[in-house]
Structure 1
Amino acid sequence: MSTIFVIKNVEVFAPQPLGKQDIVIAGNKIIAIGQQFTTGSSDLPLTVIDGNGSIAVPGFVDSLVHFIGGGGEGGFATRTPEMQLTDATLGGVTTAIGVLGTDATTRTLTNLLAKAHALQIEGITTYCHTGSYQVPCRTLTGSITDDIILIDKFIGVGEIAISDHRSSQPTSDEIRKVAAAAKVGGILSGKAGIVSVHMGTGERILQPIYDAVAGTELSLKQFYPTHMNRNGAVFKAGLAHAKQGGIIDFTTSTTEYDLAHGEVAAAAALAQALQAGISPMQLTLSSDGNASLPIYSNNGELLGLQVGQVSSLYQAARDAILTHKVSITDSICAITAAPAAILKLGQKGRLQPGLDADLVLLNRDDLTINQVFAMGKQLVVEGKATVKGMFER
């Protein structure tokens, strides 16, 4: 029998501020948010949590994670490791979307799908995109549309690489057909049918998307470009894209090398985009967790490689609040309500009765993570994992 949790007198950001409230969790749902609930007597297992000094926010939605690792740009020995459950939960991530990247040969969609199921069994909610960097897209059924319709966990396609030396250099017509197939798959299955786009440092930046959309019924909002803080030129193009109605995503995993060579830190990028008047619902952060973070010379030679961290997602959101004075609502929105809405995950990203019981309790004084609930189960207490993955020690 599952425990009923009552979190008392906690300051709630849903992500909009609701003030001090009590939150009641039963099964895998939030069943009530209100004031001064009384627990009474009951034979049901009940846990009351004192929320004084804490902030409750929705569980974080990470829209781009490499569940089974990525990379390999420096050869087989540089393939990055798989994600583990606590990589997500200790960083407050309760929903994650898995993708393939550069390597769709030794990393496969079947492996990605199996890992997504494993992580969900262990405790968090997972989805995936079919395809990878390359066009034509790798699929399981032979069709992007069929993959999205028939495979529950597939909600879109990508990340398709453009303006990058690792891209397959798709033509406008090829991109157009990928988007059309994903759109129809989304319509017929009630899913987002989103096209996740990996943005490189090439001079064309977003032009391949504009060329693909031109003269068609496709919308810019069907494309979800990530790494839009990669350098100053990409960031500037991203702001212009958002002002045309597009959505943009900033990557939180980074290296000192990249920051020293022009990358805009995700927290600063979020703050600047909001200051430019862009709606918070058009702006998201994602970790690119377990991806390779290659460092290249000017002529494309690999100089080194680091690994993306899922935990960087909340670190960036917290930095946006503490360093760049972004409001709690706007910063949390970028890792909860905004990605959930873009990906059509109606049960995620908000604290509201009837929605999935995914929430994070933060310490009010320093905004560090204290407790994490995913689908009504308590996975982190006092900043320590109480549930670990099958092969975690």
Structure 2
Amino acid sequence: MPRPSPLDLPAHHPFGPHNLPFGLFTTAEDPGHRRLGVRHGDHVLDLAALATTSASPHAELLTAPSLNPLMAAGRGVWRAVREALLTAVTEPVHRPTVEGLLHPLDEVTLHLPFEVADYVDFFASEHHASNAGRIFRPGAEPLTPNWKHLPIAYHGRAGTVVVSGTDVVRPQGQRRPPEEAAPTFGPSARLDFEAEVGFVVGTGSRPGSPVPMADFADHVFGVCLVNDWSARDIQAWEYVPLGPFLGKSFATSVSAWVTPLDALEPARTAPPGRDVPLLPYLDDSGSEPAGYDLRLQVELNGETLSQPPFATTYWTAAQQLAHLTVNGAHLRTGDLYASGTVSGPRPDQLGCLLELTGGQGPWLQDGDEVTISAWAPGADGSHVGLGEVSGRVLPAAG
């Protein structure tokens, strides 16, 4: 009996032809050669080799050592490459060639798939913002007066964005317990995760030219999962009046796969209802549904902690992009902006330990491993897998 082909996947496999996310990998035989790949089932298709073998008109982009050249090429090229990939993995005439370019996923090393230009983290979930407000400002209004008028965000540190599987060293810094008059220095005792969704910018924009919501899909290449690790004790002492800094900048983990927006088209959904009138550049009342029905799952040491629903996120990715650029700030290829912690209305839908424990802990311990995964509904009952982002906590340096 002939061996089954790795191209023959079960119906509705989350990494079937309807998905085809992009990544960057090396093999044990050639560890110094980073090449673009596409996930198909439990294999990685060598995109660079396929482009060369098939004389692709986009071979120069697809043989680059990162996704940035492809992302910079624009939406027309993204779609042409995706259509060619779909043909390659589904039409029998290409099967012998493609099968020879597949690598088992557990035999390759995955790398950060794109060079990060800038990193911005939003605060877009009303449930998370309200829960955090109750914890940080007991007795006051949970949401600040500006929250429903604009998507709040902070600029993070692009240089500490790391790929899934990278260990995270416990940060050190100043922290001051409420009962103490002065701060002390040492390892964070309140280390937390944040389950988020990231959006990766492909084509840039001109300085001084805001990007309207309607142009979102012309600039955003795809979606990845994000864990914005947070040292809550360092954050609490430093964040007034300018916001997060050392409590966030030590590490941000992203998944190794970037899912194209086109793969998530069946998951488009309406965002939550607006109860405050929005200024014109953020008003999406007459727009196509711009939310995404992504189902996240958070595991701690293999045990499920939470299942946050991204569909409940108040500010859409298109609104976030419009606000990010409305002052004239321009986009660059490789910009990453994240949603902020994704939380839903139920106790089993909270996206960080701060919320899950009411700010009381327990917090992450050395040796703990956090894994965030997600899927989205696809066409005809299929699922679109978003891969996973995982990281293990190591003791503080020194």
After TM superposition, is the score higher than 0.5?
no
TM-score interval, normalised by the smaller of the two chains: under 0.3
Look at both structures and tell me which one has the larger radius of gyration over its CA atoms. 2
**TM-score normalised to structure 1 length:** 0.24
TM-score of the superposed pair, with normalisation by structure 2: 0.24
